[in-house]
Amino acid sequence: MIRNLSGLVFFALFGTSAWVAAEASNTAHADPALAAAAVAPPLGDDRHAGARQLFRQLENRISGNPLLLSQHADKLRDYPLTPYLEAEWLEAAFQHVNERELGDFLLRHDGAPFAERLRENWLRRLVSKDDGAGFLLYYRPSKNTELRCHYLRYALTGGTNPTALSSFVDLWLSAKPLPPACASVEKRWIAAGERTPERIWQRLELAIEAGETGTIKTLQALLPAAERPLVNVWQQLYKKPQDVTKSSLFRHQSPQVWRIKTHTLERLAWRDRDEALSIWQQVATDPAYPQEWLDQATRSYALALAGAGHPAATAFLAKVPSRLADERIAGARVVDALRRLNWADTDYWLNQLPASEYQSNRWRYFSARSLAAQQRTDAASLIWQSLAGNLDYYGFLSRGQLGQRNKLSPPPLTVSAELVARIRNLPAMQRAREWLALDRQVDARREWFALSQTLSAAELHAAAVVANDWNWPDRAIAALGKAPVNGAWELRFPLTHADTLTREAQHHQLHPTWAIAITRQESIFISDAKSHAGALGLMQLMPATARMTARKHKIRYDGSHDLLRPQQNIRIGVAHLADLIDRNDGNFVYATAAYNAGQSRVNRWRDQFGELPLDIWIETIPFQETRDYVKNVMAYSLIYAERLGQDPAVFDLLASSARAPLPAPAQAGPATP
């Protein structure tokens, strides 16, 4: 038996700590090693030092010996991380814990990372007992499809949320099969007439794109017998989209033929632009093509061609109907005109933007850019002067255009001391601090993230101050990214590792502020950062790139674990920046783009549009991620130059390029859809 259940009444009345204290008095056996660790004197003035050492000893041992927690309850009573041990104990004693015990724990620690796995297990236990009322009490919004379906089932059965059925469509429109828990809700949803033919085809599209054959077969069986062969055709075209020109595949006259053809054309547009244009002439010129589907395909072609800078983009962008001309199309039209240096078209498409979009700093800057190119310098200067006070990329570009070199004065962050103190003393914040003391960065960030979801903008500002006080720069940056402010550079742009970055940059004759800006953009100074692609550390280096760079520059490299060491990561990362500068003829705009997107892509973009002024070239980068990346690094470089008292050369380079004699405007492409 795990423990004496007579102690449960203490838990119910006073919580876990009270119960384990009472239980300790009934415990005959203790772990001598742990007892010795628990009485170790605190380090310096840190009142948690002894408990911290004990926590290290106990963590991951409670499940094997649940009584360990009760044996050391007094020493852990006020320790911020004790709830983690309590959660471990509750997991171990799960089958013997009643609802009042566990419910009290979950309600006291609602949203805390250690409580959420416990909550999911508890919800599954309530499902096994078919306790709908209990499930609804303890359920919180979840990404788990099974639990979401149980919630809908109980909400509908109990009448607590009669509109819940309508939200089931979000679960049903999934490529993957639904779990059995969704069956009863799905049955009610179907009975309500919500599983329409259109939704079946929408889900088929998702399943075909994901290659979910089980879902495809299930949905295919729901179609009229005459339409089922079209599913096989669609699967074939997904593998070989060029076969869309074969009329023999489309013997059936269902309207869904046009859906399949449109989907295939869209895939082609993004995969091979020239082939897509050739096939367009064979497929989309069919007079029977329904206008609705043709418009959708036109929009996809316009975006795909514009993104690649294809000459045919101009005609396709002009053909997109107004109902589909969203922000992406509107922006692509302006950028296409800028790419062609066609100022009349630039002005026309700028004037077609919605008023709110037209007033953005981005388009106001390029409105002035167009005016200046047409020798209307006074009007352009007025716009740039109105933008030059903004502490952002386009404000900095405007300063460059005007030749302004006066020092910037970003406002500091103002937060009341009372609010800072309150945020610092929140249990979640104290738990995060303890994880930092244990050098458990991931656990600390997990606590921070959960807490940040509950804070207001003002509270996030206070949290940024606390993080800065704790020398936790990445969380200060994250907090102010979630609740943006104008200024606060000491928090948003810390000088973390600035000495090392400066030393390595100077060794390679690079601008130190550029290396710092790259690091800030890549990892916000998280030294153990790991990307989905496998990039590691402060400067987010791929192990293969690091190995090659280290070999070239004779830097010792013992494997990918080296990249999680800040000094080593910076040495190799800055050496890689030096290589990119060399490959890009000293131009760090191109080198910055290459750091993010790869040198081969930048070579291709330079071959296409290398004659464009740099401010326009940046706007024409096909990948939004890389486009935003370059803009951020350029702006951060200037900010760090200001912070370090160095020359802000980055915007001189952009402005000089912008003021240089412009190439002859390219003519609009003659292709028409």
> What value does the mean pLDDT take over residues 238-258?
90
With 90 as the cut, is the pLDDT of residue 592 above it? yes
Would you mind telling me the total number of residues written for the chain in this entry? 673
What mean pLDDT value characterizes the chain?
Answer: 89
Instruction: State the pLDDT confidence band at 569, using cuts at 50, 70 and 90.
Output: very high
Q: Which three-class secondary structure state does DSSP give residue 541?
A: strand
| Other Cβ atoms within 10 Å of 160 Cβ, number | 13
> From the centroid of its chain, how far is CA 658?
32
Q: Which three-class secondary structure state does DSSP give residue 536?
A: strand
Is 51 within 8 Å of 76 (Cβ atoms)? yes
With 60 as the cut, is the pLDDT of residue 424 above it? yes
363 vs 282, 336, 347, CA distance in Å?
38, 13, 10
Residue 522 known to be catalytic: yes
Note the pTM of the prediction, 2 decimals: 0.88
With 80 as the cut, is the pLDDT of residue 275 above it? yes
Task: Using the Cα atoms of residue 638, residue 640, residue 645 and residue 647 in order, give the sign of their dihedral.
Answer: negative
Instruction: State the pLDDT confidence band at 666, using cuts at 50, 70 and 90.
Output: low
Residue whose tokens read 């360990």 = 68
**Angstrom distance (rounded) from CA 134 to CA 153:** 13
Name the catalytic one among 227, 447, 459, 522: 522
What pLDDT is attached to residue 405?
A: 85
> What value does the mean pLDDT take over residues 190-194?
95
What pLDDT is attached to residue 268?
A: 96
Residue whose tokens read 């609010």 = 419
Taking alpha carbons only, the member of 490, 485, 493 closest to residue 520 is: 493
Is 658 within 8 Å of 614 (Cβ atoms)? yes
Instruction: List pLDDT tens digits, range 95-153.
Output: 777 778 888 899 899 999 999 889 998 899 899 999 999 999 999 999 999 999 999 99
- State which amino acid sits at residue 321: P
Name which residue leads in pLDDT, 69 or 158. 69
What pLDDT is attached to residue 87?
A: 93
**CA dihedral in degrees (637, 642, 647, 652; nearest 10)?**
60
Instruction: State the pLDDT confidence band at 23, using cuts at 50, 70 and 90.
Output: very low
With 50 as the cut, is the pLDDT of residue 246 above it? yes
What pLDDT is attached to residue 93?
A: 81
Residue whose tokens read 């100022």 = 343
Name which residue leads in pLDDT, 495 or 66. 495
Is 118 within 8 Å of 85 (Cβ atoms)? no
**Angstrom distance (rounded) from CA 579 to CA 163:** 59
What pLDDT is attached to residue 223?
A: 96
Q: Rg of the chain's alpha carbons, rounded to an integer?
A: 31
Q: Which three-class secondary structure state does DSSP give residue 497?
A: coil
What pLDDT is attached to residue 660?
A: 59
Instruction: List pLDDT tens digits, range 596-654.
Output: 999 999 999 999 999 999 999 999 999 999 999 999 999 999 999 999 988 777 777 77
Taking alpha carbons only, the member of 80, 105, 93, 96 closest to residue 18 is: 105
Instruction: List pLDDT tens digits, range 445-499.
Output: 999 999 999 999 999 999 999 999 999 999 999 999 999 999 999 999 999 999 9
What's phi and psi for 558, nearest 5 deg?
Answer: -105, 15
Cβ-count burial of 402 within 10 angstroms (0-12 exposed, 13-18 middle, 19+ buried)? Answer: middle
List Cβ<8 Å contacts ≥24 apart for 224-233. 226/252, 226/254, 227/252, 227/254, 227/256, 230/254, 230/256, 230/257, 230/260, 231/204, 233/260
**Angstrom distance (rounded) from CA 204 to CA 463:** 46
What pLDDT is attached to residue 646?
A: 85
- State which amino acid sits at residue 1: M
